[in-house]
Structure 1
Amino acid sequence: MSIPAPHRDDAEAVAALQALVRIPTVSRVNESETEWEQFELFIETLPGLFPLVHENLPFERVAGHSLLYRWKGRGDGAPAVLMAHYDVVPAEDEGWEHPPFSATLTGDGAEQLMWGRGTLDDKGSMAAILEAVETRLAEGFVPENDVLLSFGHNEETAGDGARAIVDLLESRGIRPALVSDEGGAVVEGIFPGVDTPIAVIGVAEKGIMTLTLTVDQDGGHASTPPATTATVRLAKAIVALNRRPFRAAFSATNLEMIRTIGAHARQPLRFAFTQLWLTKPLLLGLFRRLSDETAAMTRTTQAVTRLSGSMADNALAERAVATVNIRIAIGSSVAEAVEHVRAAVADPLVRIDVQSPSEPSPVSPTDGRAWQLMRDAIEHSHPGTIVTPYVMMAASDARHFTRISDNVYRFSPFEMSTEERGTLHAKNERMHVATYLRGIEFYRSLIGSL
Structure 2
Amino acid sequence: MISDDPRDADALARLRELIRIPTVSPLATGIGENTEASADWSPFDAFAAALERLYPAIHRVLSREVVAGHTLLYRWVGQEPGAAAVLMAHYDVVPATDEGWTHPPFAAEVSGEGADRVLWGRGTLDNKGSATTILEAAESAAAAGFTPRHDVYLLFGHDEETAGTGAEAVVALLRERGVTVGFVLDEGGAVVEKLFPTVDVPIAVVGVSEKGTTSFTLTVEQQGGHASTPPRLTATARLARAIVRVTDRPFRARLNAVTERMIRTVGAHGRGPLKFVFTRANLFRPLLVAVFARMSDETAAIVRTTVAVTQLSAGLAANALAERAQAVLNVRIAIGSTVEQTRRQLERAIADPLVRVEILSANDPAPVSRMDGPEWNLLAESITAAYPTAVVTPYVQTSATDSRQFSRVSRTVYRFSPFEMSAEERGTLHAKNERMHVQTFFTGIRFYEGLIARL
Alpha carbons of structure 1 residues 170 and 7: separation in structure 2 relative to 1, 3 Å: farther
Task: Indicate which of 267, 270, 287 corresponds to 2:272.
Answer: 267
| Secondary structure at the counterpart of residue 200 of structure 2 | coil
What is the aligned partner in structure 1 of residue 83 from structure 2? 78
Distance in 2, matches of 1:164 and 1:8, equals 38
Task: Indicate which of 303, 307, 322 corresponds to 2:308.
Answer: 303
Equivalent residue letter for 2:65: E
Equivalent residue letter for 1:327: R
Alpha carbons of structure 1 residues 33 and 96: separation in structure 2 relative to 1, 3 Å: farther
Equivalent residue letter for 1:234: L
| Secondary structure at the counterpart of residue 132 of structure 1 | helix
What is the aligned partner in structure 2 of residue 3 from structure 1? none
> Structure 2 matches for 1:50-449, cutoff 5 A?
50-449=55-454
Distance in 2, matches of 1:310 and 1:379, equals 56
Please give the TM-score of this superposition, normalised by the length of structure 2. 0.96
Alpha carbons of structure 1 residues 149 and 7: separation in structure 2 relative to 1, 3 Å: farther
Distance in 2, matches of 1:188 and 1:65, equals 36
CA displacement at 1:278 relative to structure 2: 2.5
Alignment RMSD (CA, Å): 1.1
| Secondary structure at the counterpart of residue 282 of structure 2 | helix
Query: Structure 1, residues 44-63: CA drift from partner, whole Å, max 9, x if none?
Result: 11111111111111110000
Q: Does the CA-based 8 Å contact 2:260-2:282 persist in structure 1?
A: no
CA displacement at 1:106 relative to structure 2: 1.1
Distance in 1, matches of 2:238 and 2:82, equals 59
Equivalent residue letter for 1:428: N
Q: Does the CA-based 8 Å contact 1:174-1:404 persist in structure 2?
A: no
Q: Does the CA-based 8 Å contact 2:310-2:328 persist in structure 1?
A: yes
| Secondary structure at the counterpart of residue 87 of structure 1 | coil
Q: Does the CA-based 8 Å contact 2:82-2:180 persist in structure 1?
A: no
Query: Structure 1, residues 308-360: CA drift from partner, whole Å, max 9, x if none?
Result: 11111111111011111111100100111001001111111111111111111
Distance in 1, matches of 2:69 and 2:414, equals 26
Distance in 2, matches of 1:100 and 1:69, equals 29
Query: Structure 1, residues 214-234: CA drift from partner, whole Å, max 9, x if none?
Result: 110111111111111111111
Distance in 2, matches of 1:114 and 1:8, equals 18
Equivalent residue letter for 1:242: T
Equivalent residue letter for 1:20: L
CA displacement at 1:7 relative to structure 2: 6.5
Query: Structure 1, residues 73-109: CA drift from partner, whole Å, max 9, x if none?
Result: 1111111100000000000011111111111111111
What is the aligned partner in structure 2 of residue 20 from structure 1? 18
CA displacement at 1:284 relative to structure 2: 0.9
Gap regions ≥5 residues in structure 1? 1-5
Alpha carbons of structure 1 residues 277 and 128: separation in structure 2 relative to 1, 3 Å: closer
Query: Structure 1, residues 162-199: CA drift from partner, whole Å, max 9, x if none?
Result: 10000100111112110000000000011111010000
Please give the TM-score of this superposition, normalised by the length of structure 1. 0.97
Distance in 1, matches of 2:360 and 2:68, equals 22
Q: How many residues in Structure 1 have an aligned counterpart in Structure 2?
A: 445
Equivalent residue letter for 1:138: A
Q: Does the CA-based 8 Å contact 1:25-1:35 persist in structure 2?
A: no
Superposition misfits of 4+ residues, deviation over 6 angstroms: none
Q: Does the CA-based 8 Å contact 2:137-2:449 persist in structure 1?
A: yes
